[in-house]
Structure 1
Amino acid sequence: MCELYASTTPERYSVKKRSIRIQGVVTSLALENEIWHTLERIAAQEQLPLAEFISTLYQEVIERHGSITNLASMLRVTCLTYLDQCKQS
Structure 2
Amino acid sequence: MLYAPGNLVELRLEPTNPFDANAVAIFSDRGTQLGYVSAERAALIGKRMGQDEVTAVFQAMHGNRAYIRIRFGGGLPTLPDPVPDVPKPAPPR
TM-score range for the pair, normalised by the shorter chain length? 0.3 to 0.5
Structure whose residues are more often helix by fraction: 1
Normalization by structure 1: what TM-score?
0.33
